[in-house]
Chains A and B, each alone.
Chain A
Amino acid sequence: MASSQHVLLSPAELAYLHASLSLTPPIRPDGRSPTQFRPLVAETGILPGTNGSARICFADGTEAIVGVKAEVERTRTRHDFPSLDESAEDDDDLDDNQNDVVKGDNDWVEMTVEIPGYRDDDAGTVFLSAMLSEALLADGEFTKRLWINQRFHWKLYLDILLISPPLSYPLPLLSLTTHLALLAARLPRLKSEGDEDPLFDDDWAAAPYLYPRPSEKGSKATAPAPAARPPVTLLVMAVGNNIIFDPSKEELAVADVALAVSVGESSSSTTSTTSSKPTAMDIDTEETKGHNLRLLSVRTIDPPSRLTPPGIPNASNSAYGANAGAKDTEKKKQQQEQARTAESEAVEGVWKAPRGGAKTLVMATMVQKVLEKGGVADEVLDALDGVDLN
């Protein structure tokens, strides 16, 4: 599905598009700059029946709704060796008891993606949901938020609905919507203590956010510690050496390579434990007081360009006299030889589906562009900060 859906562009159009995107700077069909995103409309808290919900509408009309629902579930006790992972877990400050380590399980999150017209076990749909949940679960911190006590945990259901037909590859849209829904998600405040059956506060206003907010009163002077944020998955593509963000369907159709890069943001406290250079990291965060980005996952997306119909160069087109007068077999054979070479060699201005993979340098630059300070991921997270969470 999705990335390799039907592209109704002729080889000539593809060639033109490819050529204009390979210019420096690239000229995009909608006049955006390479790193510019399409405008979008976002709102959160649209469904009072859920723990958190969000809706995003892109300017091209694609629209997605995400609802987060949590249910209390009894934690299954395992008959494994409990000694194994206790040392590995960094103990949480909430508990004084040694055995009460907060730990999560990836089974506690269930994600479903619904795309109209596609079965939910379609390879593309599975790929999308695998990608989104992979980023969410990558750091292992997220599931710890769902821990209630040793016997109970929250089971989080993430239902991702694409409302509109999939006009462009829906990954960025679904990811941004999920991000907002998780930011807006709240879980009822726990009233019971210890390992007794959980009892919750009825007052929804007192319910804490799943992702706690940085304190509001701290203005820029006090530099509030950057709080953890759910991951964002960005779609990046490259044409030649040009790197283009948030490609539309047509642009994706001529991509040499497309990558989905998931970026998360963690609070600075957890960073130093896993970072290889803790001191350097701390200095960085103090300097920028911006986002404490972390690379969570990178996946290659099969670009639909590989499935586009190739153009035929004049040399091998019979309408332009390629086979004219080729009566004797000798000449015919020669021309077949030519056709072979023409097949493997690119002809200027004639579209040919890309072959092979991508240069490692291009791929590294794509990831670099996302992650660098003041890069696209920073911009996107800043922009998402502007969404009012009610």
Chain B
Amino acid sequence: MADRRRINGPVGTTNPPIYDDAPEKQSEGVKVARSRPANVIRRMYLKTGVTPSASGSAYLEIESSGNGGSGLKLSCSVHGPRALPRSTPFSPHIILSTHVKFAPFATKQRRGYIRDPIERDLGTHLETALRGSIIADRWPKSGVDIIISIVEGEQDRETSKAQGIEAWDTMNALSGCITVASAALADAGIDCVDTVAGGVAALVQDAGDDAAPSIVVDPIPSEHEKVLAACCIAYLPTRQEVTNLWFKGDLPASDMDVYTQLIEKGIQASKSANRVLVDCLNETVG
């Protein structure tokens, strides 16, 4: 059913215009390959306290890839802790509610105002990641709302859906969500055992047929020929614990070493993101 309270765009989908030079570039095979070393994440910009009306907020921006795509831009606001409504039954812990929403213009395909399954799924992952870091029993009978809007999703103009790239993009978005939400929680002054940050690592097949698959952190799917597997990890560095793990891909069971390496790289990516997070928080305090 159409949402009548808002002015919606036209019904039906249209493809954005594609300019002539893009396909030529494709056909020549000049696809911008990854220029960063395999274990370095992209630069990111993080700032807390961007929304004055919220009790805590943060904004995260990750630089775009070389392929003329868009970077990731996230804004997170935390409301609470506040008392639960009267009708809610007693809870000995703080009740987290996470809400992840892509802006309608965030991706190539327009998103509606009603949350779609991917967004709900992201919300569940985020909740799992954060619940491990929050000291929940300090706030009985209260709730906190964490609202993330993805202002600009990471997507390249020339990516083709047939490669299943959307799924890998979701992982990058999740890792950004975890980092930004953690910063916003810290800004709101909610007690956590540690700052949690997200990191992504992927097993990729680069262009060139006989190249062995390699593991890279913070992958951009369009920079690689094929992504075989990826994982997103939320990691607490001081406790050396993982609060959320999401692995997806296709790995033979005999290759457990690859899996272990992938997880390690994911943790490494998460640690790098955590340094940015801690620096940002120190800056705010100091």
Contact = CB atoms under 8 A, between A and B. Distances in A.
Contacts of B245: 259, 298-300, 363
A35 interface: no
Contacts, number: 178
B219 interface: no
B85 interface: no
Contacts of A377: 253
B256 A368 contact: yes
Contacts of A371: 253, 256
B23 interface: yes
Nearest to A288: B254
A360 B239 CA distance: 11
A277 to B, nearest CB: 7
A307 B93 contact: yes
Interface in A228-265: 259, 263-264
Contacts of B115: 121
A318 B8 CA distance: 60
A5 interface: no
Given A81-B26, A302-B127, A294 B243 contact: no
Contacts of B250: 138-140, 264, 274, 294-296
A386 interface: no
B137 A357 contact: no
Given A127-B124, A294-B250, A371-B253, A103 B27 contact: no
Interface residues of B, number: 66
B101 to A, nearest CB: 13
A294 to B, nearest CB: 5
A276 B213 contact: yes
Interface string B221-244: 000011010010011100111111
A340 to B, nearest CB: 10
B76 to A, nearest CB: 18
A359 B267 CA distance: 12
A132 to B, nearest CB: 12
Given A130-B117, A302-B124, 5 more contacts: A83-B26, A300-B245, A300-B246, A360-B242, A363-B245
Interface of B: 15, 23, 26-27, 91-93, 115, 117-118, 120-121, 123-125, 127-128, 131-133, 135-138, 158, 160-164, 167, 193-194, 212-213, 225-226, 228, 231, 234-236, 239-256, 258-260, 263-264, 267
5 contacts: A127-B121, A139-B250, A292-B253, A356-B132, A371-B256
